[in-house]
Amino acid sequence: MRSGFQRRHWSALLLATMSLVACSRSGNVAPGKWNREAAAQYLDQRQVVWMAWPSAARDHGTFCISCHTGLPYVLARPALRSALAERGPSDAERKIVENVAERVRLWSEIGPYYSGEGYESAKPAESRGTESILNALILASNDAREGRLSDITRTAFNNMWALQLREGNAKGAWPWLDFDLQPWETADAQYYGAAMAALAIGIAPEDYRSSSSIQERVDLLSSYLNRESSKQSLMNRVVLLWASTKLPGLLNSDQQKSIVRELVKEQKADGGWELPSNASPEGWSIRSTLKKHLRSDWTRQSEESDGYATGLITLVLQEMGMSRKTPSVDRGLVWLSRNQNSEDGSWYSSSLKKNRSSSSNIGHFMRDAAAAYAVMALSKDTQASGIDFVGENHQQDSLRSSGK
């Protein structure tokens, strides 16, 4: 979650851990290849930095889980185990799961990520809603690999359901942190959070999604996600599409295909996607238009393809059942394999808020998420599902001929 600069406390640790990654580099990777060991080392070392960062520390000896570093790491890191011949989770993975489980156990007595002190009064409720979803998703993801829903994960879901909004325009969603930080902590990120909740429900083992005790809640969530979808940024709808692959009935086939066609249309000539123009909500306003082109410090947004947008979108297209040979997926994967940083194993992506120093801790946040989703996309083993994505090849041909 959001934290201020405290370089005096963590700069030495950051430099030390990044130097370990740099020492392990293997030079340029040939097109079509990527360095799994370097990616794992980058992700592991960045999580070590995050867990030791004083600004991430919370009470009872715990630390907060971030949407940019912690959550993507837990989702992505298991994808590297087989290729690296690892026998089990990394130390950082275990510590995150243990940290989340501890906060779930102490839910009634542990403080929220952000108390009212120093923040507006809404922040404790926003913190609780956000954390409840992240906790459920992390623990459900961990349980899914074991094939059994644990008691602590059931408790995490119960905590999450208790905070679901039951009235108002956001009925069916949850309070969500808003620090005006795209793409995860803005007013419209409440939708992103609700879609992540749907993903957690869908991946939970033992057919948790079909439990009679939660059907009313799931229906509220589904209604919210469908009701508000037309107002959302394309990146929010990507997460909705992802959730729909795990939670049957969330979207129908036509709705899924519509989002896929949007994604294909936005793919750039180099095979990647870029975040800034796709991270703002639908509809026109001076503010949203400016944010697509300028950061809050008046520096220009990047117009280049980036690892976060390309990694997440390419992953979700494969989750939809599109094979690696599908033109849009193939081009996305080629972009990812060719654009891994040969020095530290990461993928480029930059802050939408400010022009951050790439050597700073905060300057790594977008790259942390980009690396995680790039790893997931590149590691995904998919076969064609038989779904007919009408217009996909035609749109790819149109893009190539237009040079878009």
Tokens 């902590």 locate to: 185
- Residues 60 and 196: their CA atoms lie apart, in Å, by 26
- Residues 329 and 326: their CA atoms lie apart, in Å, by 5
Collect the ranges in the chain with pLDDT lower than 50. 2-31, 383-386, 388, 390-391, 393-404
Which among 266, 258, 161, 256 has a CA at the least distance from the CA of 204?
A: 161
Q: What pLDDT is recorded for position 386?
A: 42
Q: What pLDDT is recorded for position 128?
A: 97
- Residues 97 and 105: their CA atoms lie apart, in Å, by 12
- Bin 97: left if φ > 0, else alpha if -120 < ψ < 50, else beta: alpha
**What pLDDT, in 10s, does the model give residues 108-143?**
999 999 986 666 688 999 999 999 999 999 999 999
* Number of residues written out for the chain: 404
**What pLDDT, in 10s, does the model give residues 294-343?**
778 888 888 899 999 999 999 999 999 999 999 999 999 999 999 999 99
3-state secondary structure of 90: coil
Three-class SS of 227-274: HCHHHCCHHHHHHHHHHHCCCCCCCCHHHHHHHHHHHHHHCCCCCCCC
Q: What letter would DSSP give residue 205?
A: T
**One-letter amino acid identity for 315?**
L
Q: What pLDDT is recorded for position 395?
A: 44
Tokens 């999580």 locate to: 47
**One-letter amino acid identity for 353?**
K
397: Cβ–Cβ under 8 A, 6 or more apart, which residues? Answer: none
Which among 87, 109, 105 has a CA at the least distance from the CA of 97?
A: 105
Record the tokens describing residue 41, joined without a space: 């080392």
Other CB atoms within 10 A of residue 347 CB: 29
Q: What is the pTM of this model?
A: 0.87
CA quadruple 262, 264, 269, 270: dihedral sign? positive
Asked if 208 contacts 157 with a C-beta cutoff of 8 angstroms, the reply is: yes
**Alpha-carbon torsion, ordered 46, 99, 218, 210, to 10 deg:** 110
In angstroms, how far apart are the furthest CA atoms of the chain?
60
Preceding omega of 183 cis (within 30 degrees of 0): yes
Percent of the chain with pLDDT over 70: 84
Q: What pLDDT is recorded for position 158?
A: 98
- Residues 54 and 345: their CA atoms lie apart, in Å, by 25
- In 249-379 the beta strands, taken as DSSP E runs, fall at none
